[in-house]
Amino acid sequence: MSSSLEGSTLFDLAAYLKHQKSVVEKRLEQVLSTYPQDSRVISAVKYSLMSGGKRIRPILCIAASEAVAVEEDFFEDVLTCASALEMIHTYSLIHDDLPAMDNDGLRRGKPTCHVAFDDATAILAGDALLTMAFETLSSHLVQGGNEPGRWLEIINLISRASGVRGMVEGQMLDIFSEGVSLTPEALENMHRLKTGAIIEASVCSGAILARGRVKHIKSLKHFARHIGLAFQVIDDILNVEGDPKLLGKATGTDSQRNKNTYPSLLGLNESVTFAEKLVGTALQALSDFDKKADPLRAIARYIIDRKK
């Protein structure tokens, strides 16, 4: 049982991420194949959803389920949830990139959805992905699956995290705080909503579907709360000093828009130190878990080491 930053060094994270990403993308392709293939909206959905990306949120969902599982009959349920989480994440990226929001022209090294298609199509593609996600999550109930109460809990959890109690409100705060100096507390609240809420929901939903014990889910929630904020801190740092070729998008945009970020508030070195501290606290939350939580430990370390 390791809780140190070095505890994940023996785990082959690259192989794990590659495998789980492939599994998630295969499921996403299966879901997309059930929709009309001659639809312009579906073409835009495919363009954005299958354009790559780290798939961190669905992989966190899977890794959390593995960390608490005592049986192996839950994986299909977790994969269903994981694919829905990626749909919600992609919808948020499509809308964030729009001219009325962040007005970005590149995403994952490709023209953003509204550039490749048009603004209206991008808006509708985002809308389609959000509703697809909840169609996917509710399909288990419609098909007469077991444990409807557990699925309703998952749907409620993800709804709260992706809506005005989470990601949507965080994005609203981000836009309307441009040019306004936030306190550290206000900046943390904004980032916990904008980025952290859906990461927390990803981890907790995986653990719930794998029938994790209450105390373990509580520990995983604490873990996710800290890596969610660390993820955004590193995003802020990469926007300052990251390589646009690796990132697949422009850098320096936060400063151009007078956005509130950790580097602008704390400075670069202090932001790195803060991210390290957050990850250290997150890893400590896993101190009672065995080697099944090693993927989570490795992902936490990856969050602050990543270059994209």
What pLDDT digit, counting tens, does each position of 214-271 carry? 999 999 999 999 999 999 999 999 999 888 888 878 888 888 888 999 999 999 999 9
Answer whether residue 7 is part of any domain. Answer: no
56: CATH: 1.10.600.10
Whose CA is closest to 268, among 233, 308, 229, 302?
A: 233
Directed axis angle between helix 167-176 and helix 184-191, to 10°? 140
User: Which helix (H) or strand (E) segment is 110 a member of?
Assistant: strand 110-111
Answer whether residue 2 is part of any domain. Answer: no
Answer whether residue 1 is part of any domain. Answer: no
Q: Which two tokens stand for residue 68?
A: 């608490």
**What range defines the domain where residue 84 resides?**
12-303
Number of domains in the chain: 1
C-alpha 152/C-alpha 169 separation (Å) is 23
Whole-model pTM? Answer: 0.93
The overall average pLDDT reported for the chain is 92
Answer whether residue 4 is part of any domain. Answer: no
Residue 144: its pLDDT value, please? 66
Answer whether residue 17 is part of any domain. Answer: yes
Answer whether residue 22 is part of any domain. Answer: yes
Answer whether residue 261 is part of any domain. Answer: yes
3-state secondary structure 200-225: HHHHHHHHHHCCCCHHHHHHHHHHHH
Residues near 193 by beta carbon (within 8 Å), at least 6 away in sequence:
165, 166, 167, 169, 170, 173
- Is residue 39 pLDDT above 70, yes or no? yes
Directed axis angle between helix 75-96 and helix 40-49, to 10°? 100
Residues near 64 by beta carbon (within 8 Å), at least 6 away in sequence:
202, 203, 204, 205, 206, 207, 210, 212, 220, 224, 296
Answer whether residue 47 is part of any domain. Answer: yes
Residue 1: its pLDDT value, please? 28
User: Which helix (H) or strand (E) segment is 111 a member of?
Assistant: strand 110-111
> How many helices and strands (H and E) does the chain possess?
16, 2
